[in-house]
């Protein structure tokens, strides 16, 4: 189908996860026309997989909680390189967004007196996570989807955005392929919100959905957008290890939040040794490294994991509080968690890094391009607290939508030059060749390389090895290809996604090699200590020659009065 369809949107929103949907609602309610696109189906975004809850200092269970305590927790767990202003905004606004979600119809678990229930989660000072059993993401997405449908917000699903179209310091549109028809779409927009989620699929063992290939990072980078903190990848302590088909699948922190304990093959509750105070509920990086250490030192299980046990809580409690986990283990592993221990190991889970944004407006370095959700960076610094991402997508999704509206109101549509469209079309069409290399073979090698060399414990030798493999794969990428037509072409999708994955991988591996210290999720065996010289953020951008460039910037200092909310940073 060669016809090109042009669609106009006051605000184009790329991505229909929680961040994209919340932004679309803002645009619609301001009286402007949003258009939302997703490469999967509406209601299927990665957000749907979220389990444990939404962090918000409502203080329903622990009345001492408030935004200042939440703020302190974010800064400390982000190991003092978070964007402090974003942490303040999240702390203050997350409760409003959760109550709004409740007004939209979300059915939260309840306290005995009928308020929103909040559960404990790793490294949160108080019980803070509003939740719906262990299916919080599903309820969040379904609630927002209802609002989107109810408002008749225009959306295009199975629409793959290949690239943004830039003119001067603005994005004037985007090029999309409707994958189920093969048709080309040109979206003209006054402002654009990127809400495409993370890049967790660049690793072999990951909890992330197939969508998380970092397309938004790739397209933004090619358009001249600045990225930050790309080396900061969160490893979740507990992913499934067995059977092989589900390796990496998440075992929610809610299991530990509800009382689950970790044991090694000798039956020792080793978190008492690694973290006597917080035990299983210490920050994710601490628990993930403890699990890794137990496994590497030979105290792991048959399938290379450790044990997680919640059976002591009894069947009724487990089936009520953790219904999805109960089913997941029964169906996939034949394990009844009301009676038996789970086998778990660290899995890639979240990208703290991504597109650099202004804290209040989520604006990038381009004047009408905004980014929100996992694709953006800043809030989580070197480590994300569980539950803060669902809060992030609601708080900053709304703010990005609002700011995109303000820009669009005083802006007009621009004509999109034909040669810009042709350039992207030529990029897409060059993948059609007779003897192209299979993109999925390269993806397999790339993700294996990342898991083996840029994993939970890093060192210079392995990072250099990864950088070399990524450079070689970039060369080989020129030879990948597919056959047939554009419609339903999985090979083409693989080629396009691989191009984006290579951007994330090069940035992650190079920044990881630059950061010669251990901080938060970034742990190096050759630089095991935190270094005050590295209280800094690394930014990544493309230079005029098309090469990847990096700069190190000292982390911005928070205002003096906010220091009272945070424990002072300690260096050994
Ligand atoms: P996503 O939900 O990833 O949505 C991205 C959207 O962009 C999708 O619609 C996708 O199709 C679209 N897209 C991507 N590329 C393109 C393209 N090229 N063209 C068009 N569309 C595109 N966080 C918490 O706070 N609490 C939890 O309990 C929790 N549990 C989790 C459990 C699991 C198993 C996982 C994996 C994560 C969990 N997280 C949790 C993290 C959280 O779910 C995610 O960070 C968050 O949902 C990301 O939302 P998002 O809106 O930024 O992006």
Model confidence pLDDT, tens digit, residues 385-440? 999 999 999 999 999 999 999 999 999 999 999 999 999 999 999 999 999 999 99
Model pLDDT for residues 171-182, shown as the tens digit of each residue = 999 999 999 999
Ligand 1 site-directed mutation target among 12, 16, 42, 47, most atoms within 8 Å of CB: 47
Tell how far CA 379 is from the center of its chain: 12
Q: What average pLDDT does the segment 125-151 reach?
A: 96
Model pLDDT for residues 151-171, shown as the tens digit of each residue = 999 999 999 999 999 999 999
CA dist 381 and 228 (Å) reads 10
Name the closest-CA residue to atom 46, ligand 1: 47
* The pLDDT of residue 114: 96
Q: How far away, in angstroms, is 352 Cα from ligand 1 center?
A: 13
Residue 253 has pLDDT above 90, yes or no: no
Residue 119 annotated as catalytic: no
* The pLDDT of residue 283: 85
Model pLDDT for residues 52-96, shown as the tens digit of each residue = 899 999 999 999 999 999 999 999 999 999 999 999 999 999 999
CB 380 within 8 A of CB 352: yes
Listing from the earlier edge strand, what are the strands of the sheet with 306-309? 233-240, 342-351, 306-309, 261-263
Average pLDDT over the chain, rounded to whole? 96
- Phi, psi of 528, deg, nearest 5: -70, -10
Q: What is the dihedral of CA 270, 275, 279, 284, to 10 degrees?
A: -100
> How many C-beta atoms lie closer than 10 Å to residue 438's C-beta?
14
Q: Is 18 in the pocket of ligand 1 (CB under 6 A)?
A: yes
Name the closest-CA residue to atom 32, ligand 1: 50
Name the closest-CA residue to atom 24, ligand 1: 387
CB 538 within 8 A of CB 229: yes
Residue 1 has pLDDT above 60, yes or no: no
Cα–Cα separations (whole angstroms), residue 258 to 116, 118, 264, 283: 17, 11, 20, 16
CB 176 within 8 A of CB 423: no
Q: How far away, in angstroms, is 17 Cα from ligand 1 center?
A: 6
Q: How far away, in angstroms, is 201 Cα from ligand 1 center?
A: 12
Q: What is the dihedral of CA 376, 377, 379, 384, to 10 degrees?
A: 100
Ligand 1 site-directed mutation target among 26, 43, 45, most atoms within 8 Å of CB: 45
Q: Is 388 in the pocket of ligand 1 (CB under 6 A)?
A: yes
The tokens of 304 are what? 């290379």
* The pLDDT of residue 487: 95
Residue 311 has pLDDT above 90, yes or no: yes
CB 161 within 8 A of CB 175: yes
Geometric angle at alpha carbon 79, from 370 and 502, rounded to 5°: 50
Q: What average pLDDT does the segment 209-232 reach?
A: 97
Residue 546 has pLDDT above 80, yes or no: yes
- Please state the ipTM of this predicted complex: 0.99
Q: What average pLDDT does the segment 112-130 reach?
A: 95
Length of the chain: 572
List of residues 6+ apart from 496 with CB closer than 8 A: 160, 162, 215, 428, 431
CB 44 within 8 A of CB 535: no
Residue 567 has pLDDT above 60, yes or no: yes
CB 194 within 8 A of CB 187: no
Name the closest-CA residue to atom 44, ligand 1: 47
CB 56 within 8 A of CB 74: no
* The pLDDT of residue 122: 87
Q: How far away, in angstroms, is 393 Cα from ligand 1 center?
A: 9
Residue 236 annotated as catalytic: yes
What is the value of pTM for the model shown?
A: 0.96
> How many C-beta atoms lie closer than 10 Å to residue 486's C-beta?
21
* The pLDDT of residue 13: 98
Out of 201, 236, 363, 458, the active site residue is 236
Q: What average pLDDT does the segment 9-15 reach?
A: 98
Model pLDDT for residues 40-61, shown as the tens digit of each residue = 999 998 999 998 899 999 999 9
Ligand 1 site-directed mutation target among 9, 12, 17, most atoms within 8 Å of CB: 17
* The pLDDT of residue 242: 87
Name the closest-CA residue to atom 37, ligand 1: 50
Q: What is the dihedral of CA 383, 389, 391, 397, to 10 degrees?
A: 120
Residue 243 has pLDDT above 90, yes or no: no
Percent helix, percent strand, percent coil in the chain, to nearest 5 = 40, 20, 40
The tokens of 40 are what? 């999967």
Nearest to 135 by CA among 20, 47, 15: 47
What share of the chain has pLDDT > 90, as a percent?
95
Q: How far away, in angstroms, is 359 Cα from ligand 1 center?
A: 20
Burial 297-309 (b: 16+ CB within 10 A, else e): eebbbeeebbbbb
Q: Is 15 in the pocket of ligand 1 (CB under 6 A)?
A: yes
* The pLDDT of residue 2: 67
Model pLDDT for residues 431-460, shown as the tens digit of each residue = 999 999 999 999 999 999 999 999 999 999
CA dist 383 and 77 (Å) reads 6
Q: Is 45 in the pocket of ligand 1 (CB under 6 A)?
A: yes
Cα–Cα separations (whole angstroms), residue 137 to 95, 142, 322, 482: 17, 8, 14, 35
Residue 533 has pLDDT above 90, yes or no: yes
In this prediction, residue 188 has a pLDDT band, given cuts at 50, 70 and 90, of very high
Cα–Cα separations (whole angstroms), residue 222 to 393, 543, 545: 24, 10, 12
């Amino acid at each position: 189908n060669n016809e090109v369809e042009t669609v106009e949107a006051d605000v184009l929103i790329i991505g229909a996860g929680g961040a994209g949907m919340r932004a679309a609602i803002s645009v619609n309610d301001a009286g402007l026309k949003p258009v939302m696109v997703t490469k999967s189906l509406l209601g299927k975004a990665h957000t749907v997989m979220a389990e444990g809850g939404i962090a918000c200092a409502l203080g329903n269970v622990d009345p001492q909680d408030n935004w200042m305590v939440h703020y302190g927790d974010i800064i400390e767990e982000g190991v003092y390189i978070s964007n402090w202003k974003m942490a303040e905004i999240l702390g203050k606004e997350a409760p409003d967004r959760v109550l709004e979600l409740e007004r939209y119809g979300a059915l939260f678990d309840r306290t005995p007196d009928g308020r929103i229930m909040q559960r404990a989660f790793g490294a949160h000072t108080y019980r803070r996570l509003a939740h719906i059993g262990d299916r919080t993401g599903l309820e969040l997405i379904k609630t927002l989807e209802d609002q989107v449908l109810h408002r008749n917000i225009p959306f295009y699903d199975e629409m793959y955005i290949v690239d943004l179209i830039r003119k001067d310091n603005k994005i004037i549109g985007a090029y999309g392929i409707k994958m189920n028809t093969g048709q080309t779409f040109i979206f003209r927009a006054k402002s654009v919100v990127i809400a495409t989620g993370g890049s967790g699929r660049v690793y072999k063992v990951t909890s992330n959905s197939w969508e998380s290939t970092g397309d938004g990072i790739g397209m933004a980078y090619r358009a001249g957008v600045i990225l930050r903190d790309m080396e900061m990848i969160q490893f979740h302590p507990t992913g499934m290890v067995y059977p092989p088909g589900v390796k990496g699948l998440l075992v929610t922190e809610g299991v530990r939040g509800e009382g689950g304990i970790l044991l090694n093959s000798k039956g020792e509750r080793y978190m008492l040794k690694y973290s006597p105070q917080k035990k299983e509920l210490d920050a994710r990086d601490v628990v993930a490294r403890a699990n890794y250490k137990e496994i590497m030192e030979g105290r792991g299980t048959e399938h290379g994991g450790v044990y997680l046990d919640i059976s002591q809580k009894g069947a009724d409690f487990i089936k009520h509080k953790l219904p999805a986990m109960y089913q997941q283990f029964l169906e996939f592993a034949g394990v009844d968690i009301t009676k038996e221990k789970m086998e778990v190991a660290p899995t890639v889970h979240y990208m703290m890094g991504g597109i650099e944004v202004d804290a209040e407006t989520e604006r990038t370095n381009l004047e009408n391009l905004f980014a929100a959700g996992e694709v953006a960076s800043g809030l989580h610094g070197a480590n994300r607290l569980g539950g803060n991402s669902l809060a992030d997508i609601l708080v900053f999704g709304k703010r990005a939508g609002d700011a995109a509206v303000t820009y669009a109101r005083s802006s007009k549509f621009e004509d999109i030059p034909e040669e810009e469209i042709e350039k992207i079309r030529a990029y897409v069409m060059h993948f059609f060749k007779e003897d192209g290399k299979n993109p999925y073979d390269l993806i397999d090698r790339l993700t294996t390389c990342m898991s083996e060399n840029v994993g939970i414990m890093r060192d210079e030798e392995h990072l250099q090895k990864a950088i070399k493999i990524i450079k070689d794969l970039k060369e080989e990428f020129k030879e990948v290809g597919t056959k047939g037509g554009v419609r339903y072409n999985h090979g083409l999708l693989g080629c396009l996604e691989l191009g984006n994955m290579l951007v994330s991988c090069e940035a992650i591996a190079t920044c990881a090699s630059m950061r010669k210290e251990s901080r938060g999720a970034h742990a190096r065996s050759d630089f095991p200590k935190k270094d005050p010289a590295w209280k800094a953020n690394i930014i990544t951008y493309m230079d005029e020659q098309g090469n990847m460039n990096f700069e190190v910037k000292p982390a911005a200092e928070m205002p003096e009065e906010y220091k009272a909310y945070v424990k002072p940073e300690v260096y050994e």
